[in-house]
Amino acid sequence: MAVDFNSIIHVGLNHYLILSAVLFSIGVLGVLMRRNAIVILMSIELMLNAVNLVFVAFSKYNQNIDGQIMVFFVMTIAAAEAAVGLAIAVAIYKRFKEVNISRFENLKG
């Protein structure tokens, strides 16, 4: 089918969905590939940001403000998760001098 540049250039709802899908996939890739616990937490933050983008994009294209309010609650959860997650990571680092998750198997009970 002929590629009409018009729909690629003019920004519509599709563009925001594709951008957030790409960001979400990069976040998932980060979680799967990286060994460092802190970078895994960062990739989760990236995935949550991609979700925020979808919320705001649909909030604009449906002219309904609820999407933007959802972004606040996602932000709160992400911030609380990052805060407690990093506190745990620091406690582990101090105890085992190690942040590489592959060596966490020896966390005996």
Partner 1 sequence: MIQQLAPVLVLIVVVVGFVVVSLSLTFLAGPKRKPTAQKQMPYECGIPGIDNQTTKFSVKFYLTAILFILFDIEVIFLYPWALIYTDFLNYGPFIFVEMMVFMAILTFGFIYVWKANALDWD
Partner 2 sequence: MLGITPEDMLFHTFAGIATIGAILVVLVRNPIYSALFLALTMCVLGAIFFTLEAYFVSVAQITVYAGAVMVLFVMVLMLFDLKHEHEDIFRITPLNLSKILAVAVMCGFLVGTGWLAVSAVNGNPGAHVAPQTVAQDLEKKELPNELPAKQTHINPDEDFTNAEDAALIDEAKKEEVVLPDPNVVASTSDAEFGSTVSLSRRLFSKYVFAFEAVSLLLLVAIVGAVALAKSKGGTHHGG
- Interface with partner 1 (CB under 8 A): 72, 75-76, 79-80, 82-83, 86-87, 90
Q: Which two tokens stand for residue 69?
A: 């309010």
Q: How far is the CB of 100 from partner 1 (least distance, A)?
A: 17
Q: Which does 74 bind (CB under 5 to 8 A by kind): partner 1, partner 2, none?
A: none
Environment class of 84 (CB within 10 Å of its CB; exposed 0-12, middle 13-18, buried 19+): exposed
Q: Which does 59 bind (CB under 5 to 8 A by kind): partner 2, partner 1, none?
A: partner 2
104 binds partner 2 (CB under 8 A): no
Residue environment code for 29-44, b if the CB has 16+ CB neighbours within 10 A, otherwise e: ebeeeeeebeebbebb
